[in-house]
Each structure stands twice: as structure tokens, then as C-alpha cells.
Structure 1
Amino acid sequence: MAQFLKEEIRKRIIKSAIKEFSEKGYDRSSIKSIAKGADISVGNLYRYFENKEDLLREVIEPVFGELAQMINAENILSDMDYKGYIYNKLNRFLDLYIANKSIFFVVIDGCKGTKMGNIIDSFTDMLADNIQKLISKFNIGDLINVWGFSRALAVAVIQGTISILRDSSDEDVKANFFQYISFLMNDFDQRLEKI
């Protein structure tokens, strides 16, 4: 019974932290407000989390751990239908985003200055690795700096995605996102050959 209560309190703290970080950003959020939102004392909150940054990590890691697994490039070359593979991954990404929208915006808008502050750069590098592996699938010999080119494309995808997530309603986000990705990927292999 006691373990159930501890888990319930932990969930309330995380829920309150998500709300606080979403509304105020990490910098302006306070442990006192998070504890109040969880209906516990500040001292009790510190029994569960060492500090505010530890709480931020707990909020972010489950969602972004799953996202990191999705971005993992290991299977991109195993399937000849790379577009189908990519669209499947992107659809899973959007489902994850819709289910965890507030956590995504905590990361996008409010982690600077924390240990989690470089998470967007980390995901950009992972995506660039995927793009580099995809480019190598087409044996493009004339591309001088494949990593630089891949990272530039990854930045475009990440920043474009953030813009779409920020500016689209929940009803329109998938259509807008897939329109953007389709534009970027249309004849990708043929355009690579022209470089």
C-alpha cells in the first residue's frame, strides 16, 4: 500500500512539473509551485527529486528516450523502401508528439542552461547520421562534405518541424508536417544525383 502511495505522489509531482514548466518555462518555474500543484510540501518533493533539474530530466527522458529509439539509424539501410520506412517513423513521431505536446515544448522552449539544454542538438546530430546513411545508400561520390550536408538538412528538418509544431493545430499538425517532409523528400535520390 505504501509503495502505491509513493508512486501516486511521484506521478502528481511529475504532472505538476509538466504544467509548471509548460506555463512558465524552466527558468521561471519553482519547486515551491510544483510542490503546491502536487498538493505536497516542498520537503516531501525533495524526497523524490534532488532538485529542479533532476525533476526536469525525469519529465523529459521517457519521451525523448523513445524519440531517440525512433531516430536510431540502424535499420534505414536494411529496407529498400526507405520512404515507407521514414514515413512510418515520422508517423510514430507525430503520435508521440500529440500525446506529449507540453513536454515537447518544455524541451523546445525551456531547457537552455540545463544539462538537458543540448537535447535539440543531440537529435539534430542523430537525424544527420540518418541522412548521411541514406545518402551513402545512393553512392554519391561527388558530395565533398557528406556530414556537413547531412547536418544542414537535419537542421532544416528540425527547425521546420518546430515551426510546424508551434504553428499548427492538433487537427492539422500531421497534414502540415507530412506536406513539409514530402516537399523535402520528393525526388530526393534524383536530386542527390544532380549535386
Structure 2
Amino acid sequence: MDFEPDSSLNEFMDFLREVLVINIEQKGHLDAAVALDFYQRSVREGSSELVHTETADLIRLIKGYAAARRAEVDHAGLRLCRSLSDVVVRHEWFNEATRILPVPGHARDKPSVSVMIGTLLSQELGIPLTTVESRSEGRKPAKKMTDRERAALLHEFRIDEDLEGRTVLVLDDIYHTGYTMAGVAYEAKRSGAKMVLGLAAARNIRRQADSDHWTARKR
């Protein structure tokens, strides 16, 4: 650059090196999306062996994948909440959000991890929650769906609140294919949202190159 950048720009660039900026494949719904980390990463460069990241370990505790005391689960939720809150506060766009939209779970009778974390994040940041509902009684995880079933997720969700002119934040625990988050974003835009931003705790590795790239960035 032929000028000295403002210190805030340097701080923002440093911040972007700490998170995973997601390349959005479903264009026209989400305006931007980031994740705290990958869900798994290679044990070493070039290896096909994967291990869970620290962020994934927190998510797995909250999901009940391993036996844990209630205090451990609560602590994991608070740690995730603080990390996600830090992203919202430090991001140039995300800190303009006026509503948090947690992605609903696969079953209506059980709150999703996104709803639980979204509730904590709402309390932490003072940003109200907007309820997102599934139109179906239950659905398969996006990672187990066919391409046709994933495409149908764009019309799977319902939002009754008027979001006219708002910047909103779609929150998910794990970003797999992007269709679930895109489906909530699609409905948010239909409800009048001006800008829809996605925030995930972790992103699933879809290609080995993803893991190698992120391993290099984290050094």
C-alpha cells in the first residue's frame, strides 16, 4: 500500500488471521460467514489422520457425546460463548448485528446446541434472539442428505418476526455443507433483513487441502 493504514485496519487484519473465513457456496443468502476453527484437523501436514480440535471438544461436551458433569458442560458452553462473543465484538460487520438467529435442531422437542449457545450469546452481548422454526417435524443432518434434500433446506425454515432493514447473525454449532445456515439466511432475507452474517463454532473439513491450509495458517 502507498499509505500508512489506520491502526484499526491492522487490528482487523490480525483478527481475520485468528478465525476461519468460510467460502460461501450458496450465493445470494449469506453475506459473510466465519468459524472459530475446524472441527478436526490433521495430526501433521500430509497426514490423513484427523484429531478433534479444542473447539470440537467443547461442542462434543455440550452435545453429550462423552460422560461429563453438569459443571463441565456449563463451563464448555461459557467458553464457546466467550469465543463467539469476541468474534462479534471485534468484527467490523458482525458488531452491527441487532438480532441473533440460532439454527434449530433436527427434532422440535429438543433444543439444539445452537439455541443453547445463542441464548448465552444473547445474554452476553445484549442482542435479542429471533426464533427460527423448522417447517418439518424432523429432518436428517445435512451431511447425511442427498443433494436434492440439501437444496430443499433453503425453504425449510420459518421466521415470524419482521427483520426489515436489520443486520442479523445466523448462529450454528458446526458448519457442514452450508445449506442449513443458507436456509435460515434465505428466510431472514425474506423477512426483510438487510445483511445476514453466519457464525459457526466449527467448520467440518471437506477436503484435505482445507486441513493443510489451516494448519499452515495456525503456525
Does TM-score exceed 0.5, indicating one fold? Answer: no
Kindly name which structure, 1 or 2, has the bigger radius of gyration based on alpha carbons.
Answer: 1
Structure number with the higher helix fraction is 1
More strand by share: 2
